[in-house]
């Protein structure tokens, strides 16, 4: 009997099927609903109503606000930690890393519930600072996703580059700004992608921390439970568009930076 | 019922609910085959989560009523139904039992092509399904009181029966299509140490600045809209002349179902203001937050209020339930048969009706009440007073218990509140407590209003109103900040653009 033999393209079939069934087909359905009205007629009303209502635009702004703030907080907290960890001479770095990543192993709902109680003790009444609480909750939730990629890039950083910089007279600050930081940009970018996008739609954190304001995710849910699949699909599609534009920008930036840094190190 | 059921036996329910998704009976072979040629009927039932007794009671949970009746849950009721059906009718039935989370979920599932034979939505969803001509009316034989196996029609409370009969949609009364299962009212659960009864017994408590950021409202449009109407129309609703008028109930129902665009706009403005006074909106966390003291009052459904009061009692402090003086929302869930599922099969319809009858047997109704914590629509009859005995078992008090009051519940059990057979001797501390929430007194029931299903336009309007309340209004951001943010965004895009322009060079 012949040995099983696959061509490379055949190996793609399972994933191709998955893609068609669970990504492509639903997308077609979403697009159909987004551009039709209750009677099945083609319409752009769902699109225009999104951009003409102060409430939906406000929700978009609020979601973006939360996402930007969360990403900034995560970055500001994660970079120093990742830097210290990666640069430290401590033998068991992995242990310290684990301490930071360990929260990820505990169920997310449980962590937010605990956070709710802690914040209640500190603030007394959570209802006065809904935005701040959400920000803390989101940062708590997504911090490991920022630490890991930055740590990985910094860890791989070639020590000889730093020595070369020192030999050529750069002080620590200058070395960091000219060598370490530019080389860690790909890690920062993937950290941002991993934090920014989910924090725009993760409404469970808001619900659990008593922030009753809708963000994009909850707005889609609200339209669907009001049987308005058309507006709901349109908002999902707009969100998809935002994500697409965002990843295009970050990809381009990451590529470009990788290219220029290679040029900087190896170029003549 | 409401989004999340709470039961006295909830802890067990949680473990068992994992089983509830898939019908267990699939795995079992029929014990005996009565007629070899006949395939068992498959009955697809879809019910709220944790909304039926799943059996497996511990021995100490066995209930022995004063008249000697013993209530004990051995197996899930839908499994016991299969045995009962075989014994009673000599035919096989297999129940495929599944659950839904909200009325809207159920409706979306039905639209996506899930087929069920028997489902248990709330009154407004029943109205919607009726209006869309998707329900099958119960057969005439289902309403024949002479048949002893017709437990539903023989045992249903006259109060619930009358409510179902007098409420109509498109000229047809609900009772033709729906059999009552559980019911309740809405009100305010409060902490009596910090809130007086007078302050709690009004929907206005949600706007009361004294409880700034210490009250919660429900996270769904129908409940919040009802409360908003109660506040908007408080003066008219509590007017003596109005309350005494002959057509009070009809006018009250109309007022609490007012969806004029003007009223909806007023409600939106009011709810916008209320949001600044609320602790939050919640669906399920309010009970726990009352117990931990984060909030002092919350909008609550009677069944969940009972659960919260029980929990608080166990923790050694007291919560109370008040029914706003303006009006309260009478809601119920009922069993309805779907045309798409039954699909003209007489055997299937027979099994579905038998299932409703089986759940309406008084001992099964008690098991459900004990497990779910809500109040059953079943009251029993002259010959079978198990439900009343259960009520007595729960709340009856003797001389040794101190202050005793007479608590008439005749309106529910016999249709006559002066009926001396149904006057419970209960501790007078039960006013505003569990008994009061589960079987509210007549004077409370007099100011109940059923919230109807609104037509497509009105429904869209109140849903949009709710979304507007919940959304962050861009106008709340000062113009200066908006300009700065927009400039920052443009600047970032410009940088990216320049960088990419450089690269392409």
∠ CA B491-B497-B498 to the nearest 5 degrees?
Answer: 90
Query: CA of A30 to nearest chain B CA: how many angstroms apart?
Result: 14
Q: Is the pTM of this model over 0.80?
A: yes
φ/ψ (deg, to 5) at B13:
-60, -40
Q: Does A54 touch chain B (CB under 8 A)?
A: yes
Q: Which residues of B touch A222 (CB under 8 A)?
A: 463, 466-467, 470
**In chain A, which residue's Cα lies nearest the Cα of B222?**
A226
| Interface-testing mutation among A225, A249, A254, with chain B (most B C-beta atoms within 10 A) | A225
Six token digits for residue B249: 């109930």
Question: CB–CB of B472 and A55 under 8 A?
Answer: yes
| Interface-testing mutation among B101, B467, B478, B497, with chain A (most A C-beta atoms within 10 A) | B467
Measured between alpha carbons, how far is B97 from B22 in angstroms, rounded to an integer?
A: 7
Please tell me whether residue B267 adopts helix, strand or coil conformation: helix
Q: Which residues of B touch A224 (CB under 8 A)?
A: 108
Q: Does A62 touch chain B (CB under 8 A)?
A: yes
Query: CA of A78 to nearest chain B CA: how many angstroms apart?
Result: 23
Question: CB–CB of B280 and A211 under 8 A?
Answer: yes
- The pLDDT tens digits along chain B (505 residues) read 443 334 443 333 333 443 344 344 444 444 444 444 578 999 999 999 989 999 889 888 899 898 888 999 999 999 999 999 999 999 999 999 999 999 999 999 999 888 999 999 999 999 999 999 999 999 999 999 999 999 999 999 999 999 999 888 888 899 999 999 999 999 999 999 999 999 999 999 999 999 999 999 999 999 999 999 999 999 999 999 999 999 999 999 999 999 999 999 999 999 999 999 999 999 888 999 999 889 999 999 999 999 999 999 999 989 999 999 999 999 999 999 999 999 999 999 999 999 999 999 999 999 999 988 899 999 999 889 999 999 999 998 877 777 889 999 999 999 999 999 999 999 888 889 999 999 999 999 999 999 988 888 999 999 999 999 999 888 877 888 888 888 988 888 888 777 777 766 5
Q: Which of A62, A128, A228 comes nearest B472 by C-beta?
A: A62
Question: CB–CB of A214 and B470 under 8 A?
Answer: yes
Question: CB–CB of A256 and B503 under 8 A?
Answer: yes
Q: Which of B463, B467, B474 comes nearest A54 by C-beta?
A: B474
Can you give the pLDDT at residue A2? 60
Question: CB–CB of B213 and A218 under 8 A?
Answer: no
Measured between alpha carbons, how far is B243 from B187 in angstroms, rounded to an integer?
A: 19
Strands B297-301 and B215-218, bridge-based pairing: parallel
Q: Which residues of B touch A61 (CB under 8 A)?
A: 472, 474, 477
Domains and CATH numbers, chain A: 42-262 (1.10.3720.10)
Q: Calculate the alpha carbon distances from A173 to A152, A264, B34, B467 in Å.
A: 21, 19, 88, 51
Q: Which residues of A touch B278 (CB under 8 A)?
A: 127, 212
- pLDDT tens digit sequence for A58-104: 999 899 999 999 999 999 999 998 998 888 877 777 788 888 778 77
Instruction: Please give the radius of gyration of chain A, using alpha carbons only, rounded to the nearest integer.
Output: 23
- For chain A, what's the residue count? 268
């Amino acid at each position: 009997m012949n040995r099983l033999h696959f061509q490379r393209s055949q190996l793609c079939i399972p994933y191709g099927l998955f893609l068609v069934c669970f990504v492509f087909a639903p997308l077609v359905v979403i697009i159909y609903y987004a551009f039709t009205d209750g009677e099945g007629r083609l319409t752009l009303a769902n699109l225009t109503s999104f951009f003409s209502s102060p409430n939906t635009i406000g929700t978009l702004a609020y979601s973006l606000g939360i996402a930007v703030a969360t990403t900034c907080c995560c970055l500001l907290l994660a970079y120093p930690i990742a830097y210290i960890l990666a640069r430290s001479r401590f033998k068991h770095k992995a242990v310290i890393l684990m301490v930071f990543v360990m929260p990820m192993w505990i169920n997310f709902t449980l962590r937010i519930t605990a956070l709710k109680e802690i914040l209640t003790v500190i603030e007394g009444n959570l209802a006065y600072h809904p935005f701040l609480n959400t920000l803390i909750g989101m940062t708590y939730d997504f911090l490991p996703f920022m630490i890991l990629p930055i740590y990985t890039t910094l860890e791989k950083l070639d020590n000889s580059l730093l020595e070369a910089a020192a030999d050529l007279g750069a002080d620590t600050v200058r070395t960091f700004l000219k060598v370490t930081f530019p080389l860690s940009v790909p890690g920062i970018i993937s950290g941002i992608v991993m934090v920014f996008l989910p924090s725009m739609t993760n409404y469970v954190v808001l619900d659990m921390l008593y922030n009753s304001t809708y963000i994009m995710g909850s707005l889609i849910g609200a339209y669907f439970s009001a049987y308005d699949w058309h507006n709901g699909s349109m908002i999902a599609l707009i969100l998809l568009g935002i994500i697409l534009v965002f990843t295009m920008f970050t990809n381009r930036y990451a590529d470009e930076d990788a290219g220029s840094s290679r040029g900087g190190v190896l170029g003549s | 019922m409401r989004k999340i059921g709470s039961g006295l036996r909830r802890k067990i329910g949680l473990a068992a609910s994992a089983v509830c998704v898939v019908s267990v009976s699939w795995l079992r072979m029929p014990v005996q085959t009565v007629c070899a040629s006949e395939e068992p009927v498959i009955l697809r039932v879809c019910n709220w989560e944790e909304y039926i007794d799943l059996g497996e009671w511990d021995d100490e949970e066995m209930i022995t009523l004063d008249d000697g009746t013993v209530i004990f849950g051995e197996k899930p009721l839908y499994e016991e139904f299969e045995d009962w059906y075989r014994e009673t009718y000599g035919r096989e039935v297999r129940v495929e039992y599944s659950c839904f989370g909200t009325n809207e979920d159920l409706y979306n599932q039905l639209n996506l092509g899930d087929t069920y034979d028997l489902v248990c939505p709330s009154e407004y969803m029943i109205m919607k399904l009726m209006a869309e001509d998707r329900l099958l009316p119960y057969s005439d034989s289902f309403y024949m009181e002479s048949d002893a196996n017709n437990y539903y029609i023989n045992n249903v409370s006259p109060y619930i029966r009358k409510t179902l009969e007098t409420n109509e949609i498109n000229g047809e009364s609900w009772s033709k299509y729906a059999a009552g299962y559980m019911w309740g009212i809405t009100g305010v659960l409060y902490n009596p140490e910090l809130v007086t009864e007078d302050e709690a017994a009004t929907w206005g408590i949600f706007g009361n600045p004294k409880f700034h950021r210490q009250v919660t409202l429900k996270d769904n449009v129908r409940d919040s809209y009802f409360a908003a109407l109660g506040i908007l129309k408080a003066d008219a609703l509590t007017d003596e002349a109005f309350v005494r008028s002959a057509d009070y109930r009809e006018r009250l129902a109309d007022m609490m179902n007012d969806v004029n665009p003007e009223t909806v706009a007023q409600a939106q403005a009011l709810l916008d203001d209320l949001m600044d006074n609320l602790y939050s909106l919640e669906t399920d966390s309010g009970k726990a937050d009352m117990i931990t003291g984060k909030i002092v009052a919350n909008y609550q459904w009677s069944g969940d209020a009972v659960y919260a009061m029980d929990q608080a009692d166990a923790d050694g402090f007291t919560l109370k339930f008040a029914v706003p003086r303006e009006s309260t929302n009478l809601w119920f869930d009922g069993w309805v048969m779907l045309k798409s599922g039954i699909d003209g099969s007489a055997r299937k319809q027979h099994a579905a009706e038998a299932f409703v009858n089986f759940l309406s047997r008084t001992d099964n109704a008690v098991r459900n009440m004990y497990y779910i914590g809500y109040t059953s629509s079943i009251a029993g009859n002259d010959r079978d007073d198990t439900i009343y005995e259960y009520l007595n078992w729960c709340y009856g008090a003797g001389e040794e218990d101190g202050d005793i009051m007479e608590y008439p519940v005749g309106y529910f059990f016999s249709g006559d509140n002066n009926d001396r057979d149904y006057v419970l001797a209960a501790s007078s501390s039960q006013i505003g407590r569990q008994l009061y929430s589960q079987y509210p007194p007549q004077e409370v029931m007099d100011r109940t209003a059923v919230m109807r299903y609104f037509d497509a336009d009105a429904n869209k309007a109140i849903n949009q109103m709710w979304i507007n309340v919940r959304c962050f209004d861009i106008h709340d951001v000062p113009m200066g900040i908006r300009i700065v943010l927009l400039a920052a965004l443009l600047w970032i895009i410009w940088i990216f653009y320049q960088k990419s322009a450089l690269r392409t060079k």
